[in-house]
Amino acid sequence: MTRRQLRKAILALALIAAGNGCAAAQESASSQEARYGAHFGAGNWLDFVVYAPEATAVDLLLYDDPRSREASRRVPMQRSGDDWKVKVRGAGIGHGLFYMYRASGPREASPERPRGALFNPAYVLNDPYAYRTGNVNYEAFFSGLPFTDMTTTIYAGGGKSAVYDHSRDRFPGHVRVAPEDLIVYELHVQDYTATLEGLPADRRGTYLGLTRGGLKTPGGLAAGIDHLVELGVNAVELMPVMEYDEQTGNEADRLNHWGYMTTNFFAPEARYAARAGQQVVELKQLVKALHRRGIAVFMDVVYNHTGEQGPWVADGRLAAKCFNLMCLAADRVYRGTPDNAHYLNNTGTGNDLDFSGGQRYSKRLVNDSLAMWHQVYGIDGFRFDLARILAEGSDDAADWIDNDPRFAGAHLHAEPWDLGGQWWDFMDSNGWSADNNRWAKWLGRYRDKVRRFSQSALKDPGAFKQLIEGRGAVSDGDGPAASSRPWRSINLVAVHDGYTLRDCTWFNDADGSQNCWDSNQDEDLRRQREKLLLGILLTSQGVPIILQGDEFGRTKAGAASQEGARNSYNYESSSGKAAVNRVNWIDWRLKDGDNSASPTGPRYGRELFEWTRGLISLRKQWSHFRRSDFARYVHAARDDRAGPINDGGFSYAWEGPPGGEPSQLAVVWWGKAGEPDLMVVYNERWEPFTVDNLRDWSRGNWQILARSWLGRGQDMCRPGNWRKACPAAGDALTVAGRSMAILISDNN
C-alpha cells in the first residue's frame, strides 16, 4: 500500500468514526410534514415539526446518550408559518432516537407583567408531541430556582423526548360497551397493586403488575385484575397516566401521586413501567389484558392546565417551571387575565390552557392527543378533568371535541366545573345537539344528596327522586341535551378527590362540604350506611362509578390529618416512607375482613364486597337500572292498571309517619317484556318503616331479593335463581332504618 493509499484509508476510518458520533453520517433537509412531533417519512427521512409562532430560531438537538446534557448534533429548523420544521436521516436516526428543542425569540415577560413571550435559548425543551419521554422530574434538573434570565444551559425539567414507531406494536383493539350499560371503576395504577405480595417487587405498582392474573389477597381471595372480573365492572378509569411532573414543590419528601400535572399529552408516565423505557408497550399490554376480560379502558385526561408553572417573582427575578409550551408559545397557549398582564388560574393547580375561538393550536393539541390514545392504545373513553376550561370563551365547545371522527367511538365524560363553580349547563348551550353528542358528566350534586340521605339529613326529597331517575345531569334551565338520556348522569358517592366511602362514615366534616358524618362511631351503623350508599348508587339510572377499594372498605384515615385523607394527592414519599405511601395504596387484607394493617378500616370488608358484587350482577341481569331512555312514568301504584300494561315504565311513592315528612321512597321499575318487576325501598330515617299493600303494585307475588341491613349470606339472594332462592314478602315489608330493600315479582 502506498503512502497516498494509507492516508485515504486513515481518512475513511476517521469519517466512519465521526459517523458513529452522528455528525458526519447524518444529513438534514427542509420538511413538508404537516403533523407535529417526530414522524417517519419516505426515503428513511425522519421529520420534526414544532409549534413556536413567535420564535426567531429553533434548533433540533440530537443525543446519543439519554443521560447526556450535551447534544451530539444541533440541526437548525426552518420556519413554515407558525411552525418550525426539519427532516434528518442517516446513522442513528430512527426509532429510539433522543431529541430536544432549543428556541430563541423575544422575552416580553417581566416581574411586573409576567404574561408574555418567554424565550430563552439556555432552556432545553422536550417535544409537546413526543410519543415517549424520560421521566419528567423537576428537582432532578434544578438545584435552585429556574430563573428565566439564566444564560447557562438548563434542562427545563423534562425528560428527553424519544422517537417512537407505534407500527412496531400490536394494536390492543377496543371493547364496546353501550353508554347506559357502563359500570366504571376508578383506579390508580400504582395504588392498585403496590401491596400485592404475589407480584415480584419490581412489578408492584406498574402497568405490568395490573396485567397479572392469579393474584390473591392474604386470605386467598381474588386480587388484582381478577378482582375486577369477580366484581363485575365493565370499565376501568385509569387516573392520569400521561407523563407528569411528580414534584409538588411545596412539601419535603413528597411527590405528586395523583398525576394531575401533565407535561406531555402523548407520552405515558415513565414511572409506571416495570422496565425502564418500556412504558409505551407496557401500557398497551395493560389495555390489551383488560380488553381480553371484557373490560373497557378509560383515561382520566388533564387538558385544562399543564405541569408548567409561573412565571413567578423570586428575589426580584422572574422564574418559570418550563417543560415545553411555556418557552415555545406561552401567550398563544395559556389564558391571560383581562389586562393580559398575568396568566389565568381557574384550576387552582396551574396556568389554564386557552381554548377560546381563535386558539386553533390548543384545540388541535387536545384532539390529536385524544385521537392517538384511541387509535393507537385502544382507549375506549375519556374523563375530562375540570372540563369547564375546555369551553371557556369558545362558541364551538360542542363541536371541536365531540365531532372529531378520529375518536367517534369513544365515551366522553366531563367533570363539569372549575374553581368558578358548578357548571350544570355544560351540555345545554352553544349548539350542543341532544341527539348525537356523546357527553356525560360527573355529578357532584348526586354525591352530596345521597350522602345526606344516608345521614337522615336530606332536605330536598324531590331532588333525590330525580337522581334515582337519572335526571341529575339536567341543568337549572332544563337544557335539552342534558335531559335527553339517563346515561348522561355519571353517579358517584366517592372518587379519588375526597374521602373514600368508608372515610365518609368515619370522619365528621365540620363545614359540611363533604357531607360526611362519623356515624356516632358505631361500626354497625357505618356498615348499614356504606351498604345503603352503594345500594343507592347501583340502583340509580345513569352510569355508576366506584372508587377503587370502596367495595371492601378502603380507608385513607392513616393520613397525618383529616385534610390529608380528603386530599391525598401528595401522599407518596420520595424516600420510600411506608407510613406515607400506604395512605393511598390499597390494603387487600380488608377484602378478607382483616383490618389489622388498617385499624380505621372495617372488619366487614368481605360482606361489603359480596353486597356490591351482587348489586352489579343484578344491574347487569336486567334492564331496570340501565335504561337508555327515561322510563315512562305510570301513575299505577294503587289502581287496577298494575300489570303488563306498564312494561318498561316506573312509578313511585313517598311514605312517612303520620303527620311527619315523607322520608321513605319506594320505586317500582316495571320490567320490559320477559323481565320481572322490581321494587326498591329506600329508608332515610333512623327508625324501621313498614311498606304495606304490596299487592297493589303488582299482579304477581313479591319476593325479597335484597335487605341491606342483614349480614353476609343473608342480605341478598342470587338474581339468577330468585324464584327458588328468595323468600316471599307477603303484603308488607319492614325496612330497617338507614337501609334499603329490593323486591322482585313476576307480574304475570
Place of cell 301513575: 635
Tell me the whole-structure pTM to 2 decimals: 0.94
Give 98's contacts (C-beta < 8 A, 6+ positions apart): 62, 63, 64, 65, 66, 160, 161, 162
- Local structure of 545: helix, strand or coil: strand
What are the grid coordinates assigned to 25, written together? 453520517
What are the grid coordinates assigned to 591, written together? 377484602
Tell me the C-alpha distance between 235 and 382, whole Å: 11
| Distance from chain centroid for Cα 554 | 19
Q: According to the model, what pLDDT value does residue 741 have?
A: 98
Q: According to the model, what pLDDT value does residue 15 have?
A: 35
Q: Which amino acid is at 551?
A: E
Concatenated DSSP letters of 682-747: EE-SSS-EEE--GGGG-SS--EEEEETTS-TTTSB--GGGHHHHSPB-TT-EEE-TTEEEEEEE--
Q: According to the model, what pLDDT value does residue 397 have?
A: 56
Tell me the C-alpha distance between 705 and 721, whole Å: 10
User: CB–CB of 474/422 below 8 Å?
Assistant: no
Q: Which amino acid is at 554?
A: R
Q: Which helix H or strand E contains 580, and what residues bound it?
A: helix 578-581
Q: According to the model, what pLDDT value does residue 493 have?
A: 97
Tell me the C-alpha distance between 697 and 677, whole Å: 9
User: CB–CB of 336/115 below 8 Å?
Assistant: yes
pLDDT under 50: residue ranges of the chain:
5-22, 421-424, 430-431, 477-481, 637-639
Q: What order do you get walking across the sheet with 98-104 strand by strand?
A: 73-76, 57-63, 98-104, 161-162, 132-133
Q: According to the model, what pLDDT value does residue 515 have?
A: 81
List domains and CATH numbers for the chain: 179-243+252-306+352-618 (3.20.20.80), 632-745 (2.60.40.1180)
Q: According to the model, what pLDDT value does residue 24 have?
A: 52
User: CB–CB of 398/437 below 8 Å?
Assistant: yes
* Dihedral of alpha carbons 500, 501, 505, 506, sign: negative
Beta strands at 262-268 and 242-244: parallel, antiparallel or unpaired: antiparallel
Q: According to the model, what pLDDT value does residue 6 have?
A: 41
User: CB–CB of 202/276 below 8 Å?
Assistant: no
Q: According to the model, what pLDDT value does residue 7 have?
A: 45
pLDDT in tens, 137-187: 766 555 567 788 888 887 755 689 999 999 999 999 999 999 999 999 999
What is the maximum span of the chain, computed from C-alpha positions, in angstroms? 117
